[in-house]
Structure 1
Amino acid sequence: MTRYEQQRNFLKSNFHEFKHIKTDKIKGIAQPPIVKSFDSKSPIIDLPKASKNVVRKGSIFDCIEQRRSTRFYSADTLSLEELSYLLWATQGITGISKNGLTLRTVPCSGATHTLETYLMIMRVEGVRQGIYRYLPVEHKLLFMFELDQLEQKIDAITLDQPFVPNFARKASVLFAWSTTPYRSEWKYDISAHKKILIDVGHVCQNLYLASESIGAGACAIGIYDQKLIDEVLELDGDEEFVIYLGAVGKKRE
């Protein structure tokens, strides 16, 4: 069992060790930005306001009961309204606290919000194929660039999936969540990394339930080519890197 020991210890609470650490926050170092900056001159898509009108299945009980990892998708596109809803459900801002923290649709450790949402869009009505980033404060989509042979790139990124090979390329959208760890390290030091993984789990579960509610299906992907996905999204792989993927598409009958 010794070869598992380090990773098992990572899963445990290290509060007693953490409480003796002087974090960067305690040292008075300025908090890092909780959202990534962008060039305002870049092409930006205004998303429709998230609306319950796209919801087909209004019972949370039914969504929880019927949620499954979906790897077979129809050729139907997602609408921009549906994509807006999925982005809102996974990282949407629903308010601002008295001390200026963003309140979102998912819980986050200490409101540090280390995650960014990137999208590889294949089939969304009225949106060209390409790479995008969600801007949660503005609730807009930032167009980053087109990518030649997008579906083939997704095949390479998602490697050999154990159940249905190459399923991700047939989705409408591939969500890619990156983390900027220092946003949490600033406040939680060595305790940050477990919290980051917990936070992204909350996000992906909301994607599952929101997808189920609109008649779409989602499938989380934890097997991927780290170097390639970071390169494709133009991330440095150190200060920011991808930690989870999720494919979404309309279910095949």
Structure 2
Amino acid sequence: MTRYGQQRQFLKSNFHEFKHIKTDKIKGITQPPIVKPFDPNSVLIDLPKVSKDVVSNDNIFDCIDQRRSTRFYSADTLSLEELSYLLWATQGITGMNKNGLTMRTVPCSGATHTFETYLMIMRVEGIQQGIYRYLPVEHKLLFMFELDELEQKIDAVTLDQPFVPNFAKKAAVLFAWSTTPYRSEWKYDISAHKKILIDVGHVCQNLYLSSESIGAGACAIGIYDQKLIDEILALDGDEEFVIYMGAVGKKRE
């Protein structure tokens, strides 16, 4: 098992090594911004206030029991209310402490929340196709740009999916979560990276369950063209890069 040794070691706790490290936080280095800044002149879209009314199945047992990776979608659009709910469920802010750390709908190591949510929107009622970013503090969408041949670009990004090829472009929305690792490295140093991977799993599971609760289906995507998606979203690929993706659409009968 030598060829797997390094990766297996990464999966283990390194607490005994970490506790001897003087992190940037301990050194008194300023904490990085908790969210990515944006140009105040950007086009912002107000999202509807999150309401239970959008939920068609509020039985958590049923949502967990019926959750599946959904790769077949109808041509139906998501409503803006539904998208608002999905964004809240995956990265919504539910509180903030005196130090400015955000409490969200998903657990996160030390409330570091390294993720940004980008959206490739195909079919959302009242929203033009294009690339967007979710602003969790404001609970708004930031319109980034239109993208020619959006479906073809999604095909290129999501590569050859092993079970249902080309399924992602048929979703209503493609979520792309980026990470800014230093938000966690500042506090956890060499322990940050395992925590980031654990935390993004929490985010995607909430996407699955919230999608199920509105009669939609989600499918996590871990096979994607790293360089291409980072280039499309204008990420530098080092200080910020995509770490996980997920497709969402109304289920096909």
Category of TM-score, reference length = shorter chain: over 0.9
Q: Which residue of 1 aligns with 2:140?
A: 140
Structure 1 segment 117-128 matched on structure 2, within 5 A: 117-128=117-128
Alpha-carbon RMSD = 0.5
Q: Quick one: distance in 1 between partners of 2:30 and 2:148?
A: 40
Q: Which residue of 2 aligns with 1:20?
A: 20
Q: Which residue of 1 aligns with 2:52?
A: 52
Q: Which residue of 1 aligns with 2:179?
A: 179
> Structure 2 length normalisation: TM-score?
0.99
Q: Quick one: distance in 1 between partners of 2:133 and 2:99?
A: 27
1:40 is displaced (CA, Å) by 1.0
- How far does the alpha carbon of each residue in 1:68-103 deviate from its partner, in whole angstroms, 9 at most, with x for none? 000000000000000000000000001112433211
1:247 lines up with 2:242 in the alignment: no
Alpha-carbon contact 2:67-2:209 (below 8 Å) kept: yes
Q: Which residue of 1 aligns with 2:112?
A: 112
1:183 is displaced (CA, Å) by 0.4
AA partner of residue 88 (structure 2): W
Q: Quick one: distance in 1 between partners of 2:220 and 2:66?
A: 16
3-state SS of 2:202 partner: helix
- How far does the alpha carbon of each residue in 1:220-246 deviate from its partner, in whole angstroms, 9 at most, with x for none? 000000000000000000000000000
Q: Quick one: distance in 1 between partners of 2:116 and 2:84?
A: 15
- How far does the alpha carbon of each residue in 1:151-192 deviate from its partner, in whole angstroms, 9 at most, with x for none? 000000000000000000000000000000000000000000
Q: Quick one: distance in 2 between partners of 1:99 and 1:30?
A: 12
1:217 is displaced (CA, Å) by 0.1
Structure 1 segment 161-176 matched on structure 2, within 5 A: 161-176=161-176
Unaligned runs of 5+ in 1: none
- How far does the alpha carbon of each residue in 1:112-164 deviate from its partner, in whole angstroms, 9 at most, with x for none? 11000000000000000000000000000000000000000000000000000
Over 4 Å off, 4+ runs? none
Q: Which residue of 1 aligns with 2:192?
A: 192
3-state SS of 2:200 partner: helix
1:103 lines up with 2:103 in the alignment: yes
Q: Quick one: distance in 1 between partners of 2:101 and 2:173?
A: 29
Q: Which residue of 2 aligns with 1:84?
A: 84
3-state SS of 1:144 partner: strand
Structure 1 segment 140-159 matched on structure 2, within 5 A: 140-159=140-159
AA partner of residue 9 (structure 1): Q
Alpha-carbon contact 2:34-2:101 (below 8 Å) kept: no
AA partner of residue 77 (structure 2): T
Aligned length: 253
3-state SS of 1:147 partner: coil
- How far does the alpha carbon of each residue in 1:29-81 deviate from its partner, in whole angstroms, 9 at most, with x for none? 00000100001111100000111101000100000000000000000000000
Unaligned runs of 5+ in 2: none
Structure 1 segment 29-48 matched on structure 2, within 5 A: 29-48=29-48
Structure 1 segment 225-236 matched on structure 2, within 5 A: 225-236=225-236
Q: Give percent identity, aligned residues only.
A: 89
Q: Which residue of 2 aligns with 1:210?
A: 210
